[in-house]
Amino acid sequence: MSKAFKGGLCAYCCSAESSTADHVIARGFFPEDQRGNLPKVGACVDCNNRKSQLEHTLTAVMPFGARHGRATEALLAVERMLVRNQRLHRLLAGGVRYAFRSINGSPWMPEMTVPFDSCSMEQLSEYIVKGLARYHWELDIGEDTFVRASFLRPEGAAAFDRFFAGAVKDRVSCDLGQGVFRYEGILSVESPNLTLWKMSIYGAEVGGDPAAPGQRVSMVYGVTVDKASRAAGLLAQILGGAEAATE
Ligand SMILES: [Zn+2]
């Protein structure tokens, strides 16, 4: 491993020393010809292991919602993975459902869905947000920073977009692996650790929000913001999470 990732602070907990290089977006999400030059940051072993566990399940589940150009290929890769991994195989086989669906008035098409725990995608996205904030802007996202990533309903997304359109110090927009992972981020001028993110994996759509039956979303919204800053309360309210609940 390159020395550059050793001895700094772990990008995810910002308390332990980093001892390993972590791919911010796991290589397993990408086809083999698209794994070069993915963003990496220094991480401690504990964070690296916890993040890997989330990635392990999600690299198998997310392709089922894939809408990007190489969706079929992503699903075939899952098939190969399931042959080797019995636990995942049982998890998915137990919950596969078939449905018919029409998109924008097109003919009804059969569709397979798998059980999907949106919390695990949101948790992984929180790691990704911290990793990208370190990768692009060398930020240390420690305990005094509120971090949250979530799927938003249209009202929440609209409120978030108003923030996103605000004054920026810097802006990034990337498409990794031809639609595998797309993201946009801004570094705000308003406070030092204020970053906002929109991202999607495979353009995959997820549903299952009991409060919004039939609705599907593909974008995860993320934020890092100093807990003491003015924007923190409002962003926590938009994105949900523990802090918002105690406001
Ligand atoms: Zn750590």
Contact 197, 139 (CB under 8 A): no
Which pLDDT band holds residue 79 (cuts at 50, 70, 90)? confident
d(CA 171, CA 2): 27
pLDDT tens digit sequence for 219-233: 999 999 999 998 899
C-alpha 101 – ligand 1 centre gap (Å): 42
C-alpha 144 – ligand 1 centre gap (Å): 15
pLDDT tens digit sequence for 29-49: 999 999 999 999 999 999 999
C-alpha 205 – ligand 1 centre gap (Å): 30
C-alpha 133 – ligand 1 centre gap (Å): 15
Q: List Cβ neighbours of 238 (8 Å cut-off, separation of 6 or more).
A: 152, 156, 159, 160, 163
Q: Residue 128: its pLDDT value, please?
A: 98
**55 vs 210: which has the higher pLDDT:** 55
Q: Residue 29: its pLDDT value, please?
A: 94
**69 vs 159: which has the higher pLDDT:** 159
**215 vs 134: which has the higher pLDDT:** 134
C-alpha 140 – ligand 1 centre gap (Å): 11
Q: Residue 241: its pLDDT value, please?
A: 57
Question: What's the chain's average pLDDT?
Answer: 86
Ramachandran category for residue 208: left, alpha or beta (phi over 0 → left; psi -120 to 50 → alpha): left
d(CA 65, CA 219): 12
pTM of the model: 0.88
Q: Residue 19: its pLDDT value, please?
A: 94
